[in-house]
Structure 1
Amino acid sequence: MKGWLPLTLGLLAVILGALWTLQGLGYVEGSVLTGETVWAIVGPVVVLVGLACLYLGLRLRGRGTRR
């Protein structure tokens, strides 16, 4: 069961970061975030943090199966 929390948080961060990036760039309309440059910057940072969490979660899960 090790690593599920970082995997879940990482996946959520990647999805939200990608959405925020697309909104900040103006590709996704209908939100107060649309066209705001700050979200085009924050989004990729959140994606990178999410990818790091995914990597950590995968490493933790791999450690639990090896003996």
Structure 2
Amino acid sequence: MNSRIGRIALIAVGVIAVIIGGVFAGQGMNLIPGSFMTGNRMWLTIGLIVAAVGIILVVLGLRRPRAGRPGK
């Protein structure tokens, strides 16, 4: 991702995914009560996957583009 706006978008979506994944995982581990997801291991798994995808997006957004790529 070379454009500044695209990189900011990746970071923003990644941070949101990490937060949402953390909430899902917290509810799945019964740390955040008050939902149908509370105590359900399926939501723990979904939350961990969403958080991992969010971390990957943030890392991709923070990476600096390579200078002088041949053929591009």
Give the TM-score taking structure 2 as reference length: 0.79
Q: Could you say which structure has the higher helix fraction? A: 1
Aligned partners of 1:56 and 1:27: how far apart in 2? 30
Residue 37 of structure 1 and its aligned partner are, at CA, apart by 1.1
Q: Aligned pairs, how many?
A: 64
Match for residue 70 of structure 2?
Answer: none
Runs of 4+ in 1 over 2 A off after TM superposition: none
Larger Rg: 2
Alignment of 1:11 onto 2:21: no
Q: Which of structures 1 and 2 has the larger relative contact order (alpha carbons within 8 angstroms, sep 6+)? A: 1
Match for residue 27 of structure 2?
Answer: 23
AA in 2 matched with 1:12: I
Q: CA RMSD in A?
A: 1.8
Identity %: 32
Unaligned runs of 5+ in 2: 68-72
Give the TM-score taking structure 1 as reference length: 0.84
